[in-house]
Amino acid sequence: MRTIYFFCCILFTAWCLTGCQKGVTDISTANLVIKFKFDSNQVRLDNIGQPATVAAGHGAQNPVFNSMSAHYIELAPSALTALGTGDIVYQSPETTAGGEKAINFAQSNFAGNGEVFCKIPITSIRPGSYEWLRMSLSYQNADVKFYIDTVVAGIPVKQEFPGTIAGFIGFNTYINTLTINNQSLLINANKLQGFWGFETD
Residue-range definition of the domain harbouring residue 92 = 26-53+60-199
Residue 163 resides in a domain: yes
* Cβ(106)–Cβ(157) below 8 Å: no
pLDDT, one tens digit per residue, over 107-164 is 999 999 999 999 999 999 999 999 999 999 999 999 999 999 999 999 999 999 999 9
Q: Which residues contact 185 (CB under 8 A, 6 or more apart)?
A: 177, 178, 179, 197
- Predicted confidence (pLDDT) per residue in 88-104, tens digit: 999 999 999 999 999 99
For residue 201, the model assigns a pLDDT of 87
Write down the pLDDT at residue 28. 65
In a domain, 120, yes or no: yes
Strands 102-104, 172-179: pairing is parallel
Is 107 inside any structural domain? yes
The confidence score (pLDDT) of residue 162 equals: 96
Q: In the predicted model, is pLDDT for residue 183 greater than 90?
A: yes
What pLDDT does residue 145 have?
96
- For residue range 1-50, list pLDDT tens digits in order: 443 333 333 333 333 444 444 455 555 689 999 999 999 888 988 888 89
Write down the pLDDT at residue 59: 87
Q: Is 174 a member of any domain?
A: yes
Number of domains the chain contains: 1
- Domain presence at residue 76: yes
Q: What is the pLDDT of residue 73?
A: 97
Domain assignment present for 14: no
DSSP letter for 19, please.
H
21 within a domain of the structure (yes/no)? no
Query: Is residue 195 in some structural domain?
Result: yes
